């Protein structure tokens, strides 16, 4: 006689023979039910709530000892003590689940579970004897089966090599690391309760790393460094060229990124006081070019139409095959990439923001050297890549720098005196008594500010030219007659040189923002919308941006300021989620397949959109939410610009 | 409506919906049916014979074109053109099977199929375009699916790295190597039709290798070399000691064996004129200690009771993880080991001889430095390991040497004159005109001969002592008063020294043969038999042995000479079978589980058996098949020996 068992709240349905053990049935159907004692009726963890008439009638001694009177009253039984006697519904409470919801709430998106790809299993094995001469690996696999882990199990070769030593060092007690419930990727003598993982976001310019405790869900260290590939070129196109044109170009870039990652991991491990061997998992997100170079795959085909990648699917590669200095039997998980230059980092942003499950139509912008944009909601999500270049990260700007001590991060310019006031990172050190830092250069958020403020002060015209006729002591021609604005005089700076914003800098900002804006417009047109509900600004740079300044220069289409949300390093956040919860890796695969990639540069009128967006804020689009600021610009009629462009078409 | 389909001659049974395509049904149930065109009705290879009323009635145009009138007459149809309309039996003829029986008939055992673990699949892919921007790996996987290869496919990381270059070099035509129908382990541009594999038998003293063409089933090169671990000890026990006692002992031995294997593979590849990259599979057999050292696993626990190995199951390990210089994405397959010192080599002997499927009770002896013995048939098979030591391979014998030029391989001694006549390897060179080789030493078969001949001539007594009273000019005391027999005088030898057989040599032969004999007797007792139907002598050494001499010294229990079969390197033969036919790997796993390992040294009366077997031919057992030779021994009454031993018990 067969019975049907439904496990709630998941709704998973199975069938079993009469008098089957309920725990065994749950295991067979892969139900997430705790049973650390392996079903030997001693731990009391497999409590489930069920209809009493469909199971063995008697509550046994063990259940009386292990369940509280309250639990018994409410109809809880231990799955390991229960035989199925009829069709039934078994409710598995949160406390009986192996996977528990605990971590990574960032307020905006749904929390994710702590359910790493690797889990620790402590085994107490029988000692071998003449009557029990099972080999070491058989003994371990039998131990895992007894603990309820079924299915075919493999053992990493490097683990196998050291198995005899490990089991004997722990006197037949050991802890194994089980990857994806199918491979033993490490083993240590005795009981281990801690394990760590690293999430890495490889940007074209910056690499960010997070060291997480996989046993608790806490981030215990984070760090970042400059991608040393910058010495071979600032953007992805120049990196591809380097791979193609230089001798061993790919090999050099590949080694550079691996050395960076190893350095980053080592720094974090040192800071947290853990050993590299305790790091047992790694998730990585990157754009497609960084992905290929990281893996040592030629990015040649990525750089030429039709922009074909070697692979898009998620990859699990042994750390030792890559040469990454974590526990050698463990895997690096590369999240899936989407298409063209839109890589795993964009998938990670969508993952972190849960954007493909949301109702409101969102615009998600990940501003980096390679900018990714997404527009859509749970019904449809379009994405594209924009060649913004590294201007927003401070590169290709005369006095540009990364957001570090001495960087000018905020600028305002008085509309009358045309005098600037600036805020410098480390410029106020109230606690330390250390002398305030003096200006060394200007970082991304300062660059957006200075462009917006120069425009608002009437020093820069809507088409990006300096207004040479403006009465301002700080506006001056350089040796070649090109104008520049002095943001800080030599005596105020750490370098002893004037810090200036050049005409070329303004052009770089225009190019970067118009690439972004044109891409966004084309995606919105594809989706048939002319406004979005919210704008999410991601990327380390996005965190410090002054949203009003961004709208004044027309970085993205008009939107109420309160609907613009700064979400920080969302790609890194997505990598962290995939590190802590293996279920998020499945979700990432779903996202990668769901999102539609649009090759915006191939759209017929991309050039027109791009040219229109070169203007501050735009040749024709209106920005009602900052119109009052635009109206206040001295000597300029923004409406006039609009008319000119309209009449031209 | 569901129909049942039975595929003959395998008898595999499946069900399908009405009007299902028969090829699709066959694939779903993993039926071994050719369809190189991927079911596109152009190749005509999937012909099956079936009842016409249970399938789509009309023979279609393609079938008329692709099948002969004869085939149509006999009821053949193409599976790809046929819809199932009722329950049916489909007979798959030999010619429609992907796996065909062609190779490795050695006369005695069943032939095995050519069905390697890796197969070549040629793909003609669509070029990418803006409308078809599938990534390279997706394009390949889709191509494989179209060719009827279903299931989840993975791509080796090193293959993935070079994929973009390979597909473009071949203008979207490429050949992939598919391992076990699930992993792409290599890829080459264009069409490749050749692939090679290596089978290796790692003995304690000698390593033998075979280079096979996996596309044809032919052995195209073979070679052997001395295991360079011999510098660290002659037998497995001394190798274990070296691993335990010396600094980096394991590492040194591990590296030595890997270097040997790489040297062996390279020699064979050079001889056959192929590149190492064309070698895409490797099977290895060895005893358990060689297995552990090869894998770099400490053999410590193997050397101490209860003799536990790290793992017994078959292993597939990436060649690059081992450091073996074949195609780096490919696997080395280590056959399963049995227990204690009885390793994959013994499994391979049983595999080669099909011994676990035979009716007659066989004694299989693999004589090497570590001797393995098996007694049984398809109902039960017992096995044991005997510490014979390397005497039979020429080591630990004063003038012992390997079976190479200058080795004395046959000896007879005149019973009257006590003068020897010897046969030397290379001693007669009728064709070449080269001077005949002179004696350098004595190899295994010569050693057995000389012991038997000295005994038959009355120069050595039944207890192994030289009969000092014998009148023989060649029998003399050495400087320490120990007797020795001069087999060749200095002027006859290449070394300019007398070649002698010492008392110590005779003792070494006694110890080796009694270890073997005692083990065999204990297995026979366990099985409840006092005679076997046939004796199989395996091992390189076994091939040259004089069976009569072997019986005279009591190497194994009495048997009719015509029932003793010399089978050569059966372990190597088993490794070859596993190389050519992946099905043989499953059979090997079955054998490893089926055979019962007996720890003969732990049997209570092992010492008594051992002591009895020290005598020539034995203290008490009779040897009717050579009794006439024993009766002719001058001055000795073998029956008297028997009486003495009987009265002693």
Give the domain A2-96 fold. Answer: Ubiquitin-like (UB roll) (3.10.20)
Q: Determine if residue A150 is left, alpha or beta; phi over 0 gives left, psi from -120 to 50 gives alpha, anything else beta.
A: beta
pLDDT at B411: 96
Q: Is A169 on the interface with B (CB under 8 A)?
A: no
Q: Is A156 on the interface with B (CB under 8 A)?
A: no
The per-residue b/e assignment along B315-338, b for 16 or more CB within 10 angstroms, e otherwise, is bbbbbbbbebbbbbbbbbbbbbbb
pTM: 0.79
Lowest mean pLDDT among A10-14, A450-454, B243-247, B533-537: A10-14
The span from the CA of A597 to the CA of A346, in Å, is: 11
pLDDT digits (tens, 9 = 90+) for B43-73: 788 888 887 677 776 888 888 888 888 888 8
pLDDT at A430: 59
Q: Say which of A133, A312, A340 has its CB closest to residue B308.
A: A133
Q: Say which of B138, B298, B321 has its CB closest to residue A165.
A: B298
pLDDT digits (tens, 9 = 90+) for B483-515: 999 999 999 999 899 999 999 999 999 999 999
Q: Is A3 on the interface with B (CB under 8 A)?
A: no
| Better-predicted residue by pLDDT, B441 or B110 | B441
Q: Is B599 on the interface with A (CB under 8 A)?
A: yes
Q: Is B310 on the interface with A (CB under 8 A)?
A: yes
| Better-predicted residue by pLDDT, B413 or B216 | B413
Q: What does the DSSP 8-state code read for residue B83?
A: B
pLDDT at A644: 43
Contacts of A332 in chain B (CB under 8 A): none
Lowest mean pLDDT among A447-456, B91-100, B293-302: B91-100
3-class SS at A630? Answer: helix
- What average pLDDT does this structure show over B601-627? 93
Note whether B2-96 and B117-189 share their fold.
yes
pLDDT at A242: 92
- Cβ neighbours for B300, distance < 8 A, ≥ 6 positions apart: A164, B240, B243, B244
pLDDT at A642: 44
Using pLDDT thresholds of 50, 70 and 90, give the confidence band for residue B569. Answer: confident
Using pLDDT thresholds of 50, 70 and 90, give the confidence band for residue B643. Answer: very low
Interface touch B157/A308, C-beta < 8 Å:
no
pLDDT at A101: 39
- What average pLDDT does this structure show over B241-256? 93
Phi, psi of B535 (to 5 degrees): -120, 130
The per-residue b/e assignment along A479-496, b for 16 or more CB within 10 angstroms, e otherwise, is eeeebbbbbbeeeebeee
Q: Is A303 on the interface with B (CB under 8 A)?
A: no
Interface touch A301/B160, C-beta < 8 Å:
no
Cα radius of gyration rounded to whole Å, chain A:
30
Interface touch A298/B160, C-beta < 8 Å:
no
Q: How far is B255 from chain A (nearest CA, A)?
A: 14
Q: How far is CA A500 from the centre of its chain?
A: 35
- Does residue B102 surpass a pLDDT of 60? no
Q: Say which of A162, A307, A310 has its CB closest to residue B160.
A: A310
Three-state secondary structure string covering A199-265: EEEECCCEEEEEEEECCCCCEEEEEEEECHHHHHCCCHHHHHHHHHHCCCHHHHHHHHHHHHHHHHH
pLDDT at B378: 96
Contacts of B158 in chain A (CB under 8 A): 321
Question: B314: nearest CA in chain A?
Answer: A154
Q: Is B300 on the interface with A (CB under 8 A)?
A: yes
Are the beta carbons of A490 and A459 closer than 8 angstroms? no
Question: Which CATH homologous superfamily contains domain A217-346?
Answer: Domain of unknown function (DUF4445) (3.30.420.480)
Interface touch A164/B308, C-beta < 8 Å:
yes
Q: Which CATH class is domain B117-189?
A: alpha beta
Q: Is B462 on the interface with A (CB under 8 A)?
A: no
Q: Is A339 on the interface with B (CB under 8 A)?
A: yes
- Does residue B630 surpass a pLDDT of 90? yes
Q: Could you state, in order of their start, the residue ranges of all structural domains in chain B?
A: 2-96, 117-189
Contacts of B135 in chain A (CB under 8 A): 308-312
Interface touch A133/B300, C-beta < 8 Å:
no
**Calculated CA dihedral for residues A58, A64, A65, A67, nearest 10 degrees:** 120
Contacts of A317 in chain B (CB under 8 A): 157
pLDDT at B642: 44
The span from the CA of A591 to the CA of A357, in Å, is: 10
Q: Say which of A155, A312, A602 has its CB closest to residue B138.
A: A312
Question: A321: nearest CA in chain B?
Answer: B157
Q: Is B142 on the interface with A (CB under 8 A)?
A: no
3-class SS at B591? Answer: helix
Interface touch B310/A163, C-beta < 8 Å:
yes
Residue B596's Cβ-count burial label (10 Å; 0-12, 13-18, 19+) is middle
Q: Is B309 on the interface with A (CB under 8 A)?
A: yes
**How many contacts does A have with B, using Cβ atoms within 8 A?**
120
Interface touch B301/A130, C-beta < 8 Å:
no
Q: Is B102 on the interface with A (CB under 8 A)?
A: no
The span from the CA of B96 to the CA of A531, in Å, is: 62
The span from the CA of B205 to the CA of B335, in Å, is: 19
Q: What CATH code would you report for A359-389+511-648?
A: 3.30.420
- Does residue B80 surpass a pLDDT of 60? yes
pLDDT at B99: 53
Edge to edge, what strands does the sheet with A499-502 contain? Answer: A475-477, A483-488, A499-502
Interface touch B308/A155, C-beta < 8 Å:
no
pLDDT at B69: 87
* Pairing, β A381-386 against β A362-366: unpaired
- What average pLDDT does this structure show over B310-322? 96
The structure tokens 């990432």 sit at A588
Which residues in chain A show pLDDT less than 70? 10-11, 30, 36, 38, 52, 57, 98-111, 429-433, 540, 635-649
Q: Is B161 on the interface with A (CB under 8 A)?
A: yes
Interface touch A136/B168, C-beta < 8 Å:
no
| Better-predicted residue by pLDDT, B38 or B302 | B302
The percent of chain B in helix, strand and coil, each rounded to the nearest 5, is 35, 25, 40
Q: Which of A131, A156, A300, A308 to mutate to test the interface with B (most CBs of B within 10 A)?
A: A308
Of residues A231, A223, A281, the one with CA closest to residue A257:
A231
The span from the CA of A116 to the CA of A577, in Å, is: 9
pLDDT digits (tens, 9 = 90+) for B185-204: 999 999 999 999 999 999 88
Lowest mean pLDDT among A551-565, B336-350, B408-422: B336-350
* ipTM exceeds 0.85, yes or no: no
């Amino acid at each position: 006689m067969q019975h049907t068992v439904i496990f709630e709240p998941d709704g998973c349905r199975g069938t079993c023979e009469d008098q089957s053990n309920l725990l065994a049935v749950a295991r067979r159907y892969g139900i997430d039910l705790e049973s650390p004692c392996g079903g030997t009726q001693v731990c009391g963890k497999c409590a489930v709530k069920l209809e009493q008439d469909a199971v063995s009638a008697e509550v046994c001694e063990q259940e009386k000892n292990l369940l509280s009177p309250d639990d018994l009253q409410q109809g809880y039984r231990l799955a390991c003590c229960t035989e199925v006697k009829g069709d039934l519904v078994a409710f598995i409470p949160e406390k009986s689940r192996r996977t528990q919801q605990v971590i990574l709430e960032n307020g905006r998106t749904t929390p994710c579970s702590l359910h790493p790809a690797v889990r620790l299993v402590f085994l107490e094995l029988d000692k071998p004897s003449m009557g029990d001469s099972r080999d070491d690996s058989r003994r371990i696999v039998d131990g895992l089966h007894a603990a309820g882990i079924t299915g075919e199990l493999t053992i990493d070769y490097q683990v196998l090599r050291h198995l005899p030593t490990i089991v004997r060092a722990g006197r037949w007690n050991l802890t194994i690391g089980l990857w994806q419930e199918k491979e033993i990727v490490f083993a240590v003598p005795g009981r281990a309760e801690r394990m760590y993982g690293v999430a890495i976001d490889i940007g074209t310019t910056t690499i960010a790393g997070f060291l997480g405790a996989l046993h608790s869900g806490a981030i215990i260290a984070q760090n970042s460094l400059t991608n040393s590939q910058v010495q071979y070129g600032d953007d992805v196109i120049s990196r591809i060229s380097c791979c193609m044109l230089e001798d061993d170009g790919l090999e050099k870039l590949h080694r550079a990124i691996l050395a960076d990652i190893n350095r980053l991991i080592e720094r974090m491990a040192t800071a947290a006081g853990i050993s590299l061997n305790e790091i047992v998992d790694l998730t990585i997100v990157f754009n497609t070019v960084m992905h290929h170079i990281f893996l040592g795959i030629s990015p040649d085909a990525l750089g030429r139409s039709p922009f074909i990648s070697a692979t898009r699917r998620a990859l699990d590669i042994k750390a030792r095959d890559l040469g990454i200095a974590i526990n050698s039997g463990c895997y690096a998980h590369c999240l899936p990439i989407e298409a063209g230059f839109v890589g795993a980092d964009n998938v990670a942003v969508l993952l972190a923001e849960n954007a493909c499950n949301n109702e409101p139509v969102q615009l998600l912008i990940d501003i980096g050297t390679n900018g990714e944009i997404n527009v859509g909601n749970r019904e449809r999500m379009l994405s594209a890549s924009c060649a913004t270049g590294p201007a927003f990260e401070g590169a290709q700007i005369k006095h540009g720098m990364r957001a570090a001590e001495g960087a000018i991060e905020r600028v305002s310019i008085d509309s009358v005196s045309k005098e600037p006031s600036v805020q410098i990172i480390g410029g106020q050190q109230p606690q330390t008594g250390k002398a305030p830092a003096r200006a060394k250069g200007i970082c991304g958020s300062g660059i957006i500010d200075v462009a917006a403020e120069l425009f608002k002060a009437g020093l820069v015209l809507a088409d990006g030219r300096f207004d040479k006729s403006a009465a301002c002591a700080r506006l001056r021609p350089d040796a070649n007659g090109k104008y520049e604005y002095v943001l800080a005089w030599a005596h105020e700076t750490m370098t002893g040189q004037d810090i200036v914003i050049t005409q070329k800098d303004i052009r770089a900002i225009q190019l970067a923002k118009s690439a972004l804006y044109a891409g966004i417009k084309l995606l919105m047109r594809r989706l048939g919308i002319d406004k979005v509900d919210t704008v999410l600004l991601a990327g380390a740079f996005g965190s410090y941006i002054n949203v009003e300044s961004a709208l004044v220069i027309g970085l993205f289409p008009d939107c109420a300021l309160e609907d613009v949300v700064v979400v920080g390093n969302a790609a890194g956040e997505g990598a962290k989620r995939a590190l802590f919860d293996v279920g998020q890796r499945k979700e990432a695969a779903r996202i990668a397949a769901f999102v539609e990639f649009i090759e915006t540069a191939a759209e017929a009128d991309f050039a027109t959109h791009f040219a229109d967006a070169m203007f501050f804020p735009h040749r024709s689009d209106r920005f009602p939410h900052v119109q009052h600021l635009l109206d206040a610009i001295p000597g300029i009629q923004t409406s006039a610009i609009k008319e000119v462009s309209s009449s031209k078409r």
